[in-house]
Amino acid sequence: MRIRKLAALISVGAAAAMGASLLAAAPAHSHGSMSDPVSRVYNCFLEGPERPQSQACIDLVQQNGTQPLYDWHEVNQANAAGNHQAIIPDGQLCSAGRSKYSALDNTGTHWVATQMTSGHHNFEYRAPAPHVGYFELFITKEGWNPNSPLNWNDLEKFGHISNPTLSGGSYWFDATIPARDGRHLIYSIWQRTDSPEAFYTCSDVVFGDHDDDDDDNGGTDPTDCEAPNWASSVTYTGGDVVTYNNSEWEAAYWTRGDQPGSGGEWGPWRHLRTC
């Protein structure tokens, strides 16, 4: 399976619909969040704060309201100064210990997940307001249970990047993801060096052929196709290949919940082969 950069997160129509509300609600100063693999808060923002689509994002709005999604770039601690474990309690890592974002700590497999492969990956971190500093990347250990609160001891560090390249409003940096299988979580810390402030993200990811939270995904579990089965709950980006109805399909752009073969010529999936 090929994993490429997250080239198109939302359609032009969705962007236009959100534009007015974003300009009205966003503060003058913003910071950032992981966009590839997409973080929980940024994905919910992309779904639309007023009309979220996935159950996890619907629950978030019911629990915390819409403002945390307009403030997707501010899951932070103002005085972290590198003391992350001291100021953020176990079970509150995704919210950075802030009640405003408490729903980000909700457990379960209903969070939208990005299909990933172990090994080299080019990460994208949206940064409307860039700062000098460094990024630290973590992934949950083998055997992690997504139905349990996320604790610091659940994480394995796999990346440290100082002052990465900023291009097109995003930071881009490479890291090697450890071997994993099934559903996991990638945790990031962006620590500023011009300030004690730090930012935190949780990105749900799936390795291999797994669909933890949607039994009715329309797939057929073929034996001759090599790509993972398509899953309605997983986020795919351009170049991802899946199996659906005894065929392999390649994503043309960012998609979630769109069945391969739907949408006609301009749909998100391109048929590769029958298997």
**Span 124-168, pLDDT tens digits:** 999 877 788 999 999 999 999 999 999 999 999 999 999 998 888
In one-letter notation, the amino acid at residue 122 is N
The answer to whether residue 182 scores a pLDDT higher than 50 is yes
Which domains occur in the chain, in start order?
27-207 (2.70.50.50)
Q: Which residues contact 237 (CB under 8 A, 6 or more apart)?
A: 3, 4, 5, 6, 7, 36, 114, 251, 253, 254
Question: Whole-number mean pLDDT of the chain?
Answer: 83
pLDDT of residue 228: 86
Residue 249: predicted pLDDT = 82
- Res. 9: pLDDT tops 60: no
In this structure, are residues 184 and 207 in contact, taking their beta carbons and an 8 Å threshold? yes
For residue 248, the Cα-to-chain-centroid distance in whole angstroms is 24
User: Percentage of the chain with pLDDT > 90?
Assistant: 57
pLDDT at residue 121, as a whole number = 95
List pLDDT tens digits, range 196-244.
Answer: 999 999 999 999 876 544 433 333 333 467 888 888 888 888 888 888 8
**With 80 as the cut, is the pLDDT of residue 8 above it?**
no
Q: Which of 14-23, 56-65, 152-161, 183-192 comes out lowest in average pLDDT?
A: 14-23
- And the tokens for 137? 């990347």
Q: Which one is predicted more confidently, 272 or 162? A: 162
Q: Could you tell me where the DSSP H helices lie in the chain?
A: 12-25, 40-47, 55-64, 67-70, 84-87
pLDDT at residue 55 is higher than 80 = yes
